Amino acid sequence: MFSTRITTPLDTIHEQRVFNPGSYSYGIRKYLFESTDEFPIVEFLMERLRCRPKWELYRAWQDSLGALAYPYAQLPYFGSGYLMARYMGVERTVFAVHDEPQRVQRLVRAVNACDLRILVTLLDDPFETLMISDNYDSNLQTKPFFDADVRDSYTEVARRLHAPGKCLAVHVDGESRGVLGWLAECGVDCADAVRPQPTFALTPAQMRAEAGPDLILSGGIPATVFRGGGGGDAAFLACVRRWLETRLASPRLMLAAGDQVPPDASWRRIAMRPERVAKYGGYG
Give the global pTM: 0.92
Is 39 inside a domain boundary? no
Is 233 inside a domain boundary? yes
List the CATH number of the domain containing 178.
Answer: 3.20.20.210
Cα–Cα distance, 35 to 89 (Å, whole number): 11
pLDDT tens figures, 260-281? 788 888 888 888 888 888 888 8
Is 149 inside a domain boundary? yes
Is 271 inside a domain boundary? yes
Task: Please check the confidence at residue 54 and state whether its pLDDT lies above 70.
Answer: yes
Task: Look at residue 219 in the predicted model and tell me its pLDDT.
Answer: 92
Cα–Cα distance, 156 to 75 (Å, whole number): 13
Is 17 inside a domain boundary? no
> How far apart are the two ends of the chain, measured CA to CA in Å?
51
Rg of the chain over all Cα atoms, to the nearest angstrom: 20
Task: Please check the confidence at residue 230 and state whether its pLDDT lies above 80.
Answer: no
Task: Look at residue 284 in the predicted model and tell me its pLDDT.
Answer: 66
pLDDT tens figures, 169-209? 999 989 999 999 999 999 999 999 999 988 899 999 999 99
How distant is the alpha carbon of residue 163 from its chain centre? 23
Percent of the chain exceeding pLDDT 90 equals: 68
Is 40 inside a domain boundary? no
**Domain range for residue 64?**
45-280
Cα–Cα distance, 138 to 181 (Å, whole number): 11
Mean pLDDT, all residues of the chain: 92
Is 20 inside a domain boundary? no
Is 74 inside a domain boundary? yes
Say how many domains are in the chain.
Answer: 1
- What are 2's strand-pairing partners? 17
